[in-house]
Amino acid sequence: MYHSILVPIDISDPEFTQQLISHVETQANITDVAHVHFLTVIPAFPYYASLGLAYSGEAPSQEQIKNEALSKFSEIIDKFDIPEERIKKHIVSGSPKDEILRLADSIRADLIVIASHRPDIMTYLLGSTAAAVVRHAKCSVLVVR
Ligand code: ADP
Protein backbone atom coordinates (compact mmCIF):
# COMPACT_ATOMS: atom_id res chain seq x y z
CA MET A 1 0.00 0.00 0.00
CA TYR A 2 1.19 3.49 -0.84
CA HIS A 3 1.01 6.75 1.09
CA SER A 4 2.26 9.36 -1.34
CA ILE A 5 1.21 8.80 -4.93
CA LEU A 6 2.36 11.07 -7.73
CA VAL A 7 0.27 11.28 -10.89
CA PRO A 8 1.74 13.42 -13.68
CA ILE A 9 -0.91 14.67 -16.09
CA ASP A 10 -0.41 15.99 -19.60
CA ILE A 11 -3.30 18.46 -19.88
CA SER A 12 -2.85 18.83 -23.62
CA ASP A 13 -4.35 15.38 -24.09
CA PRO A 14 -7.21 14.58 -21.66
CA GLU A 15 -8.05 11.28 -23.44
CA PHE A 16 -4.58 10.18 -22.60
CA THR A 17 -5.38 10.52 -18.90
CA GLN A 18 -8.52 8.44 -19.10
CA GLN A 19 -6.56 5.21 -18.92
CA LEU A 20 -4.95 6.25 -15.60
CA ILE A 21 -8.16 6.76 -13.66
CA SER A 22 -9.03 3.24 -12.50
CA HIS A 23 -5.40 2.46 -11.63
CA VAL A 24 -4.97 5.61 -9.54
CA GLU A 25 -8.33 5.15 -7.78
CA THR A 26 -7.47 1.57 -6.87
CA GLN A 27 -4.10 2.48 -5.37
CA ALA A 28 -5.38 5.63 -3.65
CA ASN A 29 -8.40 3.98 -2.05
CA ILE A 30 -6.70 0.92 -0.56
CA THR A 31 -6.22 2.97 2.62
CA ASP A 32 -7.72 6.27 3.69
CA VAL A 33 -4.34 7.82 4.40
CA ALA A 34 -2.93 7.84 0.88
CA HIS A 35 -2.40 11.29 -0.62
CA VAL A 36 -2.51 11.77 -4.36
CA HIS A 37 -0.37 14.54 -5.83
CA PHE A 38 -1.42 15.51 -9.34
CA LEU A 39 1.22 17.39 -11.30
CA THR A 40 1.08 19.14 -14.61
CA VAL A 41 4.10 20.80 -16.17
CA ILE A 42 3.56 23.65 -18.59
CA PRO A 43 6.40 24.61 -20.89
CA ALA A 44 8.18 27.79 -19.84
CA PHE A 45 6.64 30.97 -21.27
CA PRO A 46 9.55 31.86 -23.61
CA TYR A 47 8.99 28.50 -25.25
CA TYR A 48 5.41 29.41 -26.09
CA ALA A 49 6.54 32.79 -27.35
CA SER A 50 9.28 31.30 -29.52
CA LEU A 51 6.74 29.07 -31.20
CA GLY A 52 4.80 32.18 -32.17
CA LEU A 53 1.61 30.39 -31.19
CA ALA A 54 -1.46 31.80 -32.86
CA TYR A 55 -1.55 34.91 -30.70
CA SER A 56 -1.98 37.70 -33.18
CA GLY A 57 -2.32 40.46 -30.62
CA GLU A 58 -0.75 40.54 -27.23
CA ALA A 59 0.81 37.32 -26.04
CA PRO A 60 -0.90 35.91 -22.94
CA SER A 61 0.86 36.55 -19.65
CA GLN A 62 2.37 33.76 -17.61
CA GLU A 63 -0.55 34.28 -15.22
CA GLN A 64 -3.15 33.77 -17.98
CA ILE A 65 -1.43 30.61 -19.20
CA LYS A 66 -1.33 29.30 -15.64
CA ASN A 67 -5.01 30.08 -15.02
CA GLU A 68 -6.07 28.37 -18.22
CA ALA A 69 -3.92 25.36 -17.38
CA LEU A 70 -5.36 25.23 -13.86
CA SER A 71 -8.91 25.12 -15.16
CA LYS A 72 -8.15 22.27 -17.61
CA PHE A 73 -6.14 20.47 -14.94
CA SER A 74 -9.00 20.72 -12.39
CA GLU A 75 -11.50 19.41 -14.94
CA ILE A 76 -9.33 16.33 -15.47
CA ILE A 77 -8.77 15.76 -11.74
CA ASP A 78 -12.54 15.93 -11.09
CA LYS A 79 -12.90 12.67 -13.01
CA PHE A 80 -10.94 10.81 -10.31
CA ASP A 81 -13.06 9.44 -7.49
CA ILE A 82 -10.76 10.30 -4.59
CA PRO A 83 -11.74 12.31 -1.49
CA GLU A 84 -10.84 15.97 -1.98
CA GLU A 85 -8.90 16.25 1.27
CA ARG A 86 -6.45 13.63 0.02
CA ILE A 87 -5.77 15.40 -3.28
CA LYS A 88 -3.04 17.99 -3.93
CA LYS A 89 -2.58 19.88 -7.20
CA HIS A 90 0.78 21.08 -8.45
CA ILE A 91 1.32 23.27 -11.52
CA VAL A 92 4.85 24.23 -12.46
CA SER A 93 6.68 25.21 -15.61
CA GLY A 94 9.79 23.53 -16.93
CA SER A 95 10.74 20.17 -18.32
CA PRO A 96 8.15 17.45 -17.53
CA LYS A 97 10.63 14.72 -16.65
CA ASP A 98 12.77 16.97 -14.42
CA GLU A 99 9.77 18.40 -12.60
CA ILE A 100 8.17 14.97 -12.11
CA LEU A 101 11.38 13.62 -10.57
CA ARG A 102 11.87 16.76 -8.46
CA LEU A 103 8.35 16.63 -7.02
CA ALA A 104 8.66 12.87 -6.42
CA ASP A 105 11.63 13.62 -4.16
CA SER A 106 10.04 16.53 -2.36
CA ILE A 107 6.78 14.72 -1.49
CA ARG A 108 8.68 11.47 -0.86
CA ALA A 109 6.49 9.68 -3.37
CA ASP A 110 6.34 5.93 -2.89
CA LEU A 111 4.50 5.39 -6.19
CA ILE A 112 4.35 7.24 -9.51
CA VAL A 113 1.50 6.32 -11.88
CA ILE A 114 2.19 7.33 -15.46
CA ALA A 115 0.78 6.49 -18.90
CA SER A 116 3.27 4.85 -21.23
CA HIS A 117 2.66 6.98 -24.32
CA ARG A 118 -0.05 8.71 -26.29
CA PRO A 119 -2.38 6.07 -27.73
CA ASP A 120 -1.94 7.39 -31.27
CA ILE A 121 1.82 6.93 -31.13
CA MET A 122 1.69 3.16 -31.09
CA THR A 123 5.14 2.58 -32.49
CA TYR A 124 6.71 3.48 -29.16
CA LEU A 125 6.59 1.16 -26.19
CA LEU A 126 7.37 4.03 -23.89
CA GLY A 127 7.21 7.79 -24.50
CA SER A 128 10.24 9.87 -23.64
CA THR A 129 8.85 11.29 -20.38
CA ALA A 130 7.70 7.89 -19.15
CA ALA A 131 11.05 6.32 -20.08
CA ALA A 132 13.02 8.95 -18.17
CA VAL A 133 10.81 8.60 -15.10
CA VAL A 134 11.13 4.81 -15.07
CA ARG A 135 14.89 5.10 -15.44
CA HIS A 136 15.54 7.75 -12.79
CA ALA A 137 12.78 7.50 -10.17
CA LYS A 138 13.80 6.30 -6.72
CA CYS A 139 10.38 4.77 -6.03
CA SER A 140 8.06 2.27 -7.73
CA VAL A 141 6.56 3.37 -11.04
CA LEU A 142 3.32 1.95 -12.41
CA VAL A 143 3.36 2.36 -16.19
CA VAL A 144 -0.17 2.07 -17.55
CA ARG A 145 -0.62 0.68 -21.05
P1 ADP B 1 4.44 10.69 -25.42
O2 ADP B 1 5.87 10.73 -25.92
O3 ADP B 1 3.55 9.75 -26.17
O4 ADP B 1 3.85 12.08 -25.23
P5 ADP B 1 5.28 10.75 -22.72
O6 ADP B 1 6.28 9.79 -22.21
O7 ADP B 1 5.74 12.14 -23.04
O8 ADP B 1 4.56 10.10 -23.96
O9 ADP B 1 4.10 10.91 -21.69
C10 ADP B 1 3.76 9.85 -20.85
C11 ADP B 1 3.25 10.39 -19.54
O12 ADP B 1 4.15 11.36 -19.05
C13 ADP B 1 1.90 11.12 -19.54
O14 ADP B 1 0.84 10.21 -19.38
C15 ADP B 1 2.00 11.93 -18.28
O16 ADP B 1 1.76 11.08 -17.17
C17 ADP B 1 3.46 12.32 -18.29
N18 ADP B 1 3.62 13.65 -18.90
C19 ADP B 1 3.96 13.95 -20.17
N20 ADP B 1 3.97 15.28 -20.36
C21 ADP B 1 3.63 15.84 -19.15
C22 ADP B 1 3.47 17.19 -18.67
N23 ADP B 1 3.67 18.25 -19.45
N24 ADP B 1 3.12 17.35 -17.38
C25 ADP B 1 2.93 16.30 -16.56
N26 ADP B 1 3.06 15.03 -16.96
C27 ADP B 1 3.42 14.79 -18.23
What is the predicted pLDDT for the residue at 78?
Answer: 96
Residue 20 alpha carbon, nearest atom of ligand 1:
14
In this prediction, residues 88-95 reach a mean pLDDT of 95
- Looking only at the bridges linking them, the beta strands covering 87-93 and 111-115 are unpaired
Q: Residues 9, 38: contact at Cβ < 8 Å? A: yes
Residue 97, ligand 1, Cβ within 6 A: no
pTM of the model: 0.89
Please, which residues bridge with residue 8 across strands?
39
Rg of the chain on CA atoms, in Å: 15
Q: Is 102 in contact with 72 (CB distance < 8 Å)? A: no
Residue-wise pLDDT tens digits, 53-75 = 555 566 777 788 888 899 999 99
- pLDDT surpassing 90 at residue 92: yes
Helix axis angle, 96-106 relative to 128-136, nearest 10°?
30
Identify which of 6, 9, 10, 116 to mutate to test ligand 1's pocket (most ligand atoms within 8 A of the CB): 10
Give 104 Cα–ligand 1 centroid separation in angstroms: 15
Nearest CA-CA partner of 34 in 42, 49, 24 = 24
pLDDT at residue 122 in the model: 62
pLDDT tens digit string along 18-53? Answer: 889 999 999 999 999 999 999 999 977 555 555 555
Q: Where are the domains of the chain?
A: 4-143
Ligand 1 contact, 41 CB (< 6 A): yes
In the structure, what pLDDT confidence band is assigned to residue 113 with cuts at 50, 70 and 90?
very high
CATH for 4-143 is 3.40.50.620
> Are 61 and 84 a contacting pair, CB within 8 Å?
no
How far is 51 from 80, CA to CA, in rounded Å?
33
Q: What is the pLDDT of residues 124-135, one digit of tens each?
A: 678 899 999 999
How confident is residue 110, by pLDDT bands cut at 50, 70 and 90?
Answer: very high
Helix residue ranges, H only, 45-143: 45-51, 62-77, 96-106, 128-136
